[in-house]
Structure 1
């Protein structure tokens, strides 16, 4: 099956090829220095893939190829959030609704007024809550567990990244209102209509698992359970998706183009508003300018991942220590970088600042 976006050259879409080559050489240098075994990146503009390249090893003794699937970690959050956008567009929910209206029992412990807006902007008040592995394939256990999440502070009073908890709530809501598992809903409603069903997965089928890159710690040790079949299949909605860099660049091209054919322009505009202003995200220590899924560049001095040079309306998300994907509405450029090591924060932040800025600097017109 052909990839849904055509390929072109950087020059043909107004990008400086030499600058992008320098970026690729920087990735190669990081691999040579032992920072990570492999990586993949893609740059797209105006509905075309301008650069798609794979580097190094996907796993020990196995070269990374264009067919390799990479763990997206929290880049998955944007795909899952888009599932809630779709439910709002279809008239099933309103994003300003209390979650408990659609997930009875969630009101327990003072959570009855938490809205989807608060959930997706990391203001829900339960950042430390976790889902045990035994809930991954047990919908009733998942529902009971998310409904029992204890509040740590008053919802809406603080902004603090919810690494694992918020999007399991989203998964439980999707099952409750759509009547199907979140993995199947996201595939049917979003991924398949974009033609990305071979390159973007929330829940990796058994037949595709041989394509997955192993995830490593900085010392090169494979990470568990991320390298296990159960984790790959679970479709952890806040951190367990798999994909190629060009699939993520294409997904962001869809958002840049107003959501067609999967979502409407109005729901995209609504989702990409800055809902937290310049309030500091206590987890990251800086303002993150949270939209309903992605975060935005904004105009503060520093930002994670998207690059300081980015247009203020640029939006995206990262995957812990390993990846970042973003789109720039001003230029129409989207970028995805995926790697297979959960690197330390100091290196990862500096790397993504460098790589993203090199892409921004390549925009000629």
Structure 2
């Protein structure tokens, strides 16, 4: 398919990012063609069944394209522009944006202790843990688990979260909390608002930005048919799709509906590119202001310095949701060529989404096979660097 045709395809008139062509937004088409060829080669080689990417700048959508298959068994289903992809930990940024909105409404401060709003959370010596420590992965309970029955029973969820036990002193380490910190933040949202956290995220983020059909934390059953199946690698010759098989847990109704606020969001690549455009445009998208520039300056800054994240094995420069490139030698997912101010987040073994405040560019890359390192990190660096190298300094500001 011609890339320019693909640029415009699926850019519906009511989407908050109007379509434009690559050159008018200051992108080197040759570099983007290399990115497309790389993704097509990955699919041909059997690394993942399908992929979706989106590239935006200065409030316009330059590229939106779907590749390969959303499902492989029992019947093949091609990826389409309305396919919803499991975002995994990209969901953390969506949840964080909802918290930014609630903070602006005066419901809490990030310096508050969680127990000020959820008193039972003080159990097991957790009374002094702040919301800032929780969202920046310094809370001290990275391996705490919420069992499946609590995903839908939010009274039980609160009890489970409040019973989390510390593994080390809060604030003494940076260590990625894969799901535990954001289950805590989900309980906090419910305590602040009296509403299901999934409803709050929809009402404060997705719907105001015009993304109500393309970004979900808690996927309604009516949208299941649009969801791409998540896959996982298996030894060659033992599974479907040349070394891949469906991941039963990640495709379960409980996971999709439960909306784990740290890992079970669903969305399109263009929705994620649009979310980052909101951040790059000072808190507005399509004429709607979600948060203030001052809130963004506070949220998207390095709160953990160059301290090494013990799980990632490198400094992650944690903000309140996204992390930043910084100037350290290694970085995860954002691309080694990235400007130090580039910020974003990834999804385990599958994806990364980011924004570049220097150029006004946002990019989303989402796949549906959970591939471990080292291949995963190597391909993310290559993908991101192809995009960074495509950005010219003369993109129009409007």
Tell me the TM-score range normalised by the shorter chain: over 0.9
Partner of 1:40: 52
Tell me the CA shift for residue 344 of structure 1. 1.5
Q: Within 1, Cα distance between the matches of 2:268 and 2:222?
A: 16
Where does residue 3 of structure 2 map in the other structure?
Answer: none
Which segment drifts farther, 252-261 or 321-330? 252-261
Aligned residue number for residue 268 of structure 1: 296
Unaligned runs of 5+ in 2: 1-11, 234-242, 394-398
Q: 1:172 aligns with which of 172, 183, 187?
A: 187
Residue 229 of structure 1: aligned partner: 253
- Structure 1 residue 90 displacement after superposition: 0.5
| Residue of structure 2 aligned with 1:137, choices 152, 157, 166 | 152
Query: What SS does the corresponding residue of 2:344 show, helix, strand or coil?
Result: strand
In structure 2, C-alpha distance between the alignment counterparts of 1:21 and 1:194, rounded to whole Å: 30
> Which of 93, 118, 125 is the aligned partner of 1:78?
93
User: What corresponds to 1:332 in structure 2?
Assistant: 360
TM-score, reference length from structure 2: 0.91
Q: Distance in 2 between matches of 1:73 and 1:228?
A: 14
CA distance in 2, matches of 1:253, 1:318: 17
1:90 is the counterpart of 2:105:
yes
CA drift at 1:177: 1.0
Rounded Cα–Cα distance in structure 2 between residues aligned with 1:344 and 1:168: 24
1:269, distance to aligned residue in structure 2 (A): 0.6
Do residues 251 (structure 1) and 279 (structure 2) align? no
Instruction: Describe how 1:270-285 pairs up with structure 2 within 5 A.
Output: 270-285=298-313
Q: Which residue of 2 aligns with 1:318?
A: 346
CA distance in 2, matches of 1:59, 1:208: 15
Name the SS of the counterpart of 2:172 in structure 1. Answer: coil
1:76 deviates by 0.1
TM-score, with length taken from structure 1: 0.99
Aligned counterpart, 2:8: none
Q: What CA distance in whole angstroms lies between the structure 1 residues aligned with 2:340 and 2:135?
A: 20
Give the aligned partner of residue 24 of structure 1.
36
1:216 aligns with 2:244: no
Is the Cα contact below 8 Å between 1:42 and 1:249 reproduced in 2? yes
Q: In the alignment, what sits opposite 1:242? A: 266
1:50 and 2:62 matched: yes
2:375 to 347, 351, 361: 347
Cα contact 1:85–1:95 (8 A) shared by 2 = no
After the TM superposition, which parts of structure 1 deviate over 4 Å for at least 4 consecutive aligned residues? none
CA distance in 2, matches of 1:355, 1:123: 30
Does residue 59 in structure 1 map to residue 68 in structure 2?
A: no
**Alpha-carbon separation, structure 2, partners of 1:314 and 1:240:** 24
Alignment equivalent of 1:293, drawn from 295, 308, 321: 321
Q: Say yes or no: does 1:309 pair with 2:337.
A: yes
Preserved contact between residue 123 and residue 155 of structure 1 (Cα < 8 Å): yes
Conservation of the 8 A alpha-carbon contact between 1:201 and 1:241: yes
CA distance in 2, matches of 1:34, 1:180: 43
> Out of 157, 178, 189, which is 1:163 matched to?
178
User: 2 CA distance for matches of 1:15 and 1:118?
Assistant: 38
